[in-house]
Amino acid sequence: MSGFAPAELAYLQGERRLGRLATVGPDGMPHVTPVGWSYNETFDTIDIGGRNFEQSKKFRDVKRNGRAAIVIDDLASVSPRRTRGVEVRGRADIVDDPAPMIRIHPDHVVSWGVEADG
């Protein structure tokens, strides 16, 4: 059973590949950064990686506290303005194989505007 509703899965499996990852630093300050991501059907997770990823603040934050959130969204139309997206919050693991990445397990998922795609 997936942590995502069918309309959310359809949206995540579309063409969007840019999201915004939120982590929390050791000083309690939030950190948000644009990232590339993919939906991992095998584990029902959002996987995030990139160049020199293991040297990044986001990687260190997740390694330290094991939590993260990501928002994947877009503008479906400009007139009338229609936004859609999926926010995923949850436990985050550091994965080293096949390359360093963050794997977010969905504990809490919120979506908007994706039902119209389905």
Sheet strands (E) in the chain = 18-24, 30-40, 45-49, 67-77, 82-95, 101-112
Q: What is the pLDDT along the chain (118 residues), one digit of tens a residue?
A: 789 999 999 999 988 789 999 999 999 999 999 999 999 999 999 999 988 889 999 999 999 999 999 999 998 877 788 899 999 999 999 998 888 999 999 999 999 999 865 4
Q: What pLDDT shows up at residue 118? A: 43
Q: What pLDDT shows up at residue 16? A: 78
Write down all domains in the chain, each with its CATH number in brackets. Answer: 6-117 (2.30.110.10)
For residue 2, give Cα distances in angstroms to 8, 42, 57, 64, 112. 10, 10, 29, 27, 18
Predicted TM-score (pTM) of the model is 0.91
Look up residue 80 and give its two tokens: 């009338």
Which of 106, 28, 111, 13 has its CA nearest to residue 68? 106
